[in-house]
Structure 1
């Protein structure tokens, strides 16, 4: 039995850009030095307008996975967020192996754009309501050496085109 490499190799930034182009979604990408934390990315704020994201890849006791995409400085109470997102229990961080398997990214590159790799629909995407007040949302295009800007409504359209219906909820303190 052979496996189709198209289904096993994670998609790249170029694949993401092609997909956005096919959807006729306007996007702009700024390349920069790799950033691994929100603190490291602060210097980019003046260059890149819009809401900048922080992403938390979490799971519940039933191994249901969630990606919480919130504004970069927002605080998420991991002891109570499960009651808001419909998790079966308190959540903990998902393992790097599952992050790569489901979203095709490594820690430090976690992004809502990873939905393009979640062909098995293993992850529930949660967009924080406060973040969604921004007209432009910024995220890594599957690697942390660039930032891609996309319109808020286009982000939802992108997620829906990947087969995900995002939950837009207030999950921050």
Structure 2
């Protein structure tokens, strides 16, 4: 198996530009948690995301992208997303292998690196009500803002059909 080199933020922006998708990015000090990123709220409007990289017992992987303050019941979410069993967190090695990111930089934009379609992307329906969604551009030292409809277009252009489901309580 050949190691794939994860795409860079510049390659992500070029991909978005190629699709005619408007996006803006603000660089900032690296943030590893939602709590650390709260300081940026005044500077970056829109829905801010929290991403949960999970797997079931059959090694099906899912990325749940939800509003940063929402809670996901990991004991029952498998019944909503089509997992074969209760889910647990995926290992950092799989996160890098499939999405090309490290823990703390997990993002829906990781779909650009999932060329083998190993991950099912789930966008929370409540988050998708926001006009603008904010995600890390494959690293945690910046935040990229994109229209929610364009996030779906981006995913479809990477060969993924995201599930838009209410997975939060």
Which of the five TM-score ranges fits, normalised by the shorter chain?
Answer: over 0.9
TM-score of the aligned structures, taking structure 1 as reference length:
0.96
Q: 1:14 aligns with which of 10, 13, 27?
A: 10
The CA distance in 2 between the partners of 1:28 and 1:168, in whole Å, is 23
The CA distance in 2 between the partners of 1:14 and 1:114, in whole Å, is 13
The CA distance in 1 between the partners of 2:65 and 2:151, in whole Å, is 12
The CA distance in 2 between the partners of 1:8 and 1:170, in whole Å, is 33
The CA distance in 2 between the partners of 1:144 and 1:76, in whole Å, is 22
Q: Which runs of 5+ in 2 are unaligned?
A: none
Q: Corresponding residue for 2:26? A: 30
Whether 2:109 is the aligned partner of 1:113: answer: yes
Q: 1:132 aligns with which of 117, 120, 128?
A: 128
Q: Corresponding residue for 1:49? A: 45
Residues 91-102 of structure 1 mapped to structure 2, 5 A cutoff: 91-102=87-98
Q: Which runs of 5+ in 1 are unaligned?
A: none
Q: Summarize deviations over 1:90-141 as a string: whole Å, max 9, x none.
A: 0000000000000000000000000000000000000000000000000000
Q: After TM superposition, what 4+ stretches of structure 1 lie above 4 angstroms from structure 2?
A: none
Number of residue equivalences: 169
TM-score of the aligned structures, taking structure 2 as reference length:
0.98
